[in-house]
Structure 1
């Protein structure tokens, strides 16, 4: 019988790894996943820095300010425009017409958001001022008569001693200008389509918007102003300020315009400044003065920042006694 073969030798015992514990000899090793007392953490847990904390505070504050600004700008549009008063001296205005008051309203922009209630607020504001005349200087609507005729109906309630007048803006030509001219006439406003009427002490003229040129209905200054008596003061209703050069050529004393929205909100003010001679307010061009209203509504988002909506009461003043 053969002697039994020796089995495989057992593997050598693993040498104990050197302990990092620096306690007393024979002390038990610390539990797994913990560090011995006094040992530095090789991977310290990150903590938010002061810079990160400050950046989060600044970012949150900026977001809150932006949200509040947009909210206030939206509320301002939906609340309706406020009255603004401007006095404009005219060299040729007779003393009898001194103090004549024109309510200038532009850029109402009736549409899906700004509807009949918006029109009613505008009408009530104008009537509260008891003007001598109302001038609606374009961009009344952003839609067809079929869509928005009902929203415009409160215009029939406008009250002014010498009536209410209307000229087209560029948005009327996107919405069926001929139909809107007929509709506002039915509501009691008188459209001035390259036309002029005589008032006590001055001539009131109106020209179509330059957008009408694409439809064969552009501004015609000769027709509106060519044969008038230049010794009389004149007030021109024209939606866009850019026609001021033609107004100067035809001896207009005062042009009343809108279109710019006063910039409405940044960077619209920069764009409006590049495209228009005057963005808002009263400026002089030679012997002609130009007043630009910020408008009573808003185009696109119903938000205004830094350019609140307005209805302006322009009071004419005589320079001569």
Structure 2
């Protein structure tokens, strides 16, 4: 089954990239030549870089090598997605444009046919003739006509140019949005068990920062500055902090030591921590001043704060243990649970958690990725209720793979707890 799946994936990639090359380079040129060859190298080379960047990151290749491949490879990955989507839209436009041009040409031909032709002057007419003494003048040589491109070629060039412009504009805008840093989103969440004294308690929720070969220390500093500017009572870092080892990314994560909140900063693992050395990163964030909640709970003055490991830890015998984190708690107290993946909401409901804070989905990151995210997660982004338990899913502060977001802007969410009393 694995071999069949890989064959299907490879076949889809080959067909999609052949289609890109055909529409962008073959159909826009009149004959084989350097443009078509350059296009083939660009398409094949872009995907070679993209796959190389993914493999280098997951296999722990030298960090300088990861950074060399990451920018061109991941950017091509995003660009190829929107080139493909734009060209597919172009398939609808293509016949409409051809019909428009055909109609325009027919109208022009009809107009030319209706123009009166100039009257010819015969030899016996009385029109002025050149004097006999004037030497005959040779006619000016007519310039060689430049062959106009065929209608099909013209349409192909227009559609390809428009698709390229749309894809570049979309990816450029989405990349600027990520590199510019996340915005602050504020959400009020009422909790039935929250005492009046805790009304207005603010939790800054940040997930999916994804420090790595693309997003580094400068980006981490922007995230920290944005969180601190909200002056939260508590900070919750709910997983996928990094894509790489402590050795490579320890300096990039150093600004986290500047996080400031009255009740401290807490951390739970995401699936990407388990690709990057979860045990080492738990120790590193503890050294930076954050408190890891590894299937653990702490009793704050007015509610319980608990955290569980990510489900990816199950492969290392370090998965989520809701019983350990929540089994012996006082059910009369409100409880907020930090859990990276939204799918962990079902266990939270069983243990009467009042609010679960998650990330993981990126809100889809690259539209229409939200449709895929919705198929794998109960909630893609925002606040939803599951029985007596509420789930809030952040779209995340960073981005994985391409440093690009389309239709899913990055955010840091300030959750303000509200008491009904």
- Please give the TM-score of this superposition, normalised by the length of structure 2: 0.64
Distance between the aligned counterparts of 2:367 and 2:162, measured in 1?
20
Q: 1:55 deviation in Å?
A: 5.2
Distance between the aligned counterparts of 2:364 and 2:277, measured in 1?
26
Distance between the aligned counterparts of 2:231 and 2:194, measured in 1?
21
Structure with the higher strand share, 1 or 2? 1
CA deviation string 1:20-48 (max 9, x = no partner) = xxxx9xxxxxxxxx9xxxxxxxxx99755
* Alignment coverage as a number of residue pairs: 281
Distance between the aligned counterparts of 2:247 and 2:336, measured in 1?
33
CA deviation string 1:128-181 (max 9, x = no partner) = 000000000000000010110111000000010000000000011111111100
Query: Which protein is bigger by CA-based radius of gyration?
Result: 1
Counterpart secondary structure, 1:289: strand
Aligned with 1:77 (options 155, 173, 178): 178
CA deviation string 1:268-321 (max 9, x = no partner) = 2122111100010011100000000000111111111000111000110111x2
Distance between the aligned counterparts of 2:197 and 2:157, measured in 1?
65
Q: 1:59 deviation in Å?
A: 3.4
Partner of 1:89: 190
- Contact kept in structure 1, 2:367 and 2:408, CA below 8 Å: no
Q: Does 1:289 align with 2:382?
A: no
Aligned with 1:311 (options 412, 416, 421): 412
Match runs of 1:72-151 below 5 Å: 72-151=173-252
Q: 1:58 deviation in Å?
A: 3.9
Partner of 1:298: 399
Partner of 2:347: 246
Q: Does 1:194 align with 2:295?
A: yes
Distance between the aligned counterparts of 2:186 and 2:202, measured in 1?
10
Partner of 2:328: 227
**After TM superposition, where is structure 1 displaced by more than 6 Å over at least 4 residues in a row?**
none
Q: Does 1:256 align with 2:357?
A: yes
Aligned-residue CA RMSD (Å): 2.0
Aligned with 1:184 (options 268, 282, 285): 285
- Please give the TM-score of this superposition, normalised by the length of structure 1: 0.84
Specify which structure has the bigger relative contact order, considering alpha-carbon pairs within 8 angstroms and separated by 6 or more residues: 1
Partner of 1:157: 258
Question: Unpaired runs of 5+ in structure 1?
Answer: 1-23, 25-33, 35-43
